[in-house]
Amino acid sequence: MRPSTLLILACAAALALGTSAAPTAVVIGAGVAGLKAAADLAAKGVAVTVLEGRDRVGGRVWTVNTPGGPLELGAQWIHGTNNPILAVAQTQRWPTVVTSSEDAASYEAVSPTAAKQISAADDSEWDQLFTDLVAYVEEAAGEGSSSATLASAISAFAKDKGLTPRQLAGLNFRVDSTWTQEYAAE
Ligand SMILES: Cc1cc2nc3c(=O)[nH]c(=O)nc-3n(C[C@H](O)[C@H](O)[C@H](O)COP(=O)(O)OP(=O)(O)OC[C@H]3O[C@@H](n4cnc5c(N)ncnc54)[C@H](O)[C@@H]3O)c2cc1C
């Protein structure tokens, strides 16, 4: 059980017991979960202190301001319209925009302050490399090498196929955006 969950339970118990002093709570972490827990407790009259280890709130939601505008280094999509985060956004009157992955465009950094859109040719080549990598990994797993790491499988695949540094960079980008960010960036 996470520390913030334990604290919520402790506060709920204090409320249920009807102790005369106003209940207090400490929430560890000012990410989405901690901030929502703190807001819910405060709304019930609990005096909440939020402790955050970093010098900013938001946790894995992290917007940085760049000369070109705000840049999201963490979470940015509200997946689905029945997502409770959408209700939070609407209550707070945060602007939301409907997006589709079909309309997504990818950019690569060409200098610390400039980026160019990735070409359709590179895009489709990297898609194909990713598809080939999946087949390669599945075949290796079928041959009993399932304990190998993903990084070692990518290295072996790149060596077998004679990938150029740019092709390998494109493949790593696909792996990162498809697997790391969707499933393992927690
Ligand atoms: C690159 C990236 C992209 C993502 N994209 C999306 C997306 O588009 N849509 C989506 O729904 N989700 C996305 N996610 C996942 C989403 O960011 C997380 O699920 C969510 O932010 C987690 O919130 P949390 O409050 O549970 O944890 P966190 O955001 O990790 O917050 C935990 C907080 O607790 C603090 N903390 C931890 N331990 C202590 C301690 N001992 N003392 C004090 N403070 C402590 C940490 O510093 C942190 O601020 C993405 C994640 C990443 C990394």
User: What is the predicted pLDDT for the residue at 15?
Assistant: 55
Least confident of 20-24, 43-47, 78-82: 20-24
Is the pLDDT at 103 greater than 50, yes or no?
A: yes
- pLDDT tens-place string over residues 58-87: 999 999 998 878 888 888 889 888 999 999
> What spacing in Å lies between the alpha carbon of 34 and ligand 1's midpoint?
10
Q: Is 77 touching ligand 1 by the criterion CB < 6 Å?
A: yes
Residue identifier of the C-alpha nearest atom 13 of ligand 1:
75
Task: Name the more confident of 161 and 181.
Answer: 161
Cα distance between residue 10 and residue 2, in whole Å: 13
Residue identifier of the C-alpha nearest atom 19 of ligand 1:
186
**C-alpha 131 chain-centroid distance:** 23
Is the pLDDT at 4 greater than 50, yes or no?
A: no
> What spacing in Å lies between the alpha carbon of 63 and ligand 1's midpoint?
13
- pLDDT tens-place string over residues 125-136: 999 999 999 999
> What spacing in Å lies between the alpha carbon of 59 and ligand 1's midpoint?
4
| H/E segment holding residue 64 | strand 63-66
Q: What rounded mean pLDDT belongs to the chain? A: 85
Task: Name the more confident of 145 and 76.
Answer: 76
Q: How far is CA 123 from each of CA 110, 127, 183, rounded to the nearest angstrom? A: 16, 6, 21
CA dihedral 147, 151, 154, 160 (to 10 degrees): -70
Residue 133 in contact with residue 175, Cβ under 8 Å? yes
